[in-house]
């Protein structure tokens, strides 16, 4: 007999919401965060967010409570449940694979951005190290592919590919500098 819990695959927007809900917020708050900050890649439309929140609540990852203080507009504050926090932590701390790289830095950076508050600085360093490792095997593969397409594709296609390689190399540099920043922070403990 299979436990009735489905695999509950959560799309990227769902994790973005979980991460933001470390601070209790209403759907409207979340929409404004998406539309006003650099998270514009995520949809700020009600048709995306409210159903997503409903799904997360049905999965027991968040819990909404209607705020009805005197002279206040009706609004529903959502917050993470323990289960939601653990789901978020699992997602964030999962080691970086090559597939993660193929599917875009976007999601990797979202995970890292939430890492500090969710899983702590040690997890942040671990995530960075696993990213570094993944990049170190990925970049040579990119160079190899560049060699093979070198002569057969038109100039603009080759340049576009080189752009991707450069971006990946920049990412590796950033990763290394982020690691040292973190390690300094750990020792120096300015807080």
State the minimum distance, in angstroms, from the CB of residue 164 to its own copies: 7
Selected range binding its own copies among 5-13, 62-70, 76-84, 163-171, rule: CB under 8 A: 163-171
**CB of residue 145 to DNA, shortest distance in Å:** 20
Residue with Cβ nearer DNA (10 or 131): 10
Q: How far is the CB of 21 from its own copies (least distance, A)?
A: 15
CB of 172 to DNA, least distance (A): 27
By CB under 8 A, tell whether 155 contacts its own copies. Answer: yes
Count other Cβ atoms within 10 Å, centred on residue 102: 8
Give the list of residues 6+ apart from residue 98 with CB closer than 8 angstroms, or none. 134, 137, 138
32 to 91, contacts with its own copies by CB under 8 A? 37-38, 40-41
Closest-CA residue to 17 (of 168, 140, 51): 51
Q: Is 17 exposed, middle or buried (0-12, 13-18, 19+ CB in 10 A)?
A: buried
Q: Which of 150, 167, 180, 183 binds its own copies (CB under 8 A)?
A: 167
- Closest C-alpha among 72, 75, 88, 93 to residue 31: 75
């Amino acid at each position: 007999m299979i436990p009735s819990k489905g695999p509950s695959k959560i799309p990227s927007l769902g994790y973005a919401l979980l991460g933001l809900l470390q601070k209790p917020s209403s759907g409207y708050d979340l929409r404004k965060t998406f539309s006003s900050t650099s998270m514009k890649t995520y949809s700020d439309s009600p048709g995306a967010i409210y159903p997503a929140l409903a799904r997360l609540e049905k999965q027991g990852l968040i819990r909404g409570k209607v705020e009805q203080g005197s002279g206040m507009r009706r609004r529903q504050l959502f917050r993470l449940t323990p289960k939601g926090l653990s789901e978020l932590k699992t997602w964030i701390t999962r080691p970086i694979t090559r597939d993660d790289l193929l599917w875009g830095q976007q999601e990797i950076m979202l995970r890292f951005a939430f890492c500090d508050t969710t899983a702590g600085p040690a997890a942040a360093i671990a995530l960075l190290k696993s990213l570094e490792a993944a990049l170190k095997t990925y970049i040579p593969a990119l160079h190899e592919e560049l060699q093979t397409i070198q002569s057969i594709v038109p100039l603009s296609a080759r340049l576009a590919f080189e752009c991707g390689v450069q971006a990946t190399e920049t990412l590796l540099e950033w990763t290394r500098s982020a690691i040292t920043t973190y390690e300094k922070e750990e020792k120096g403990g300015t807080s």
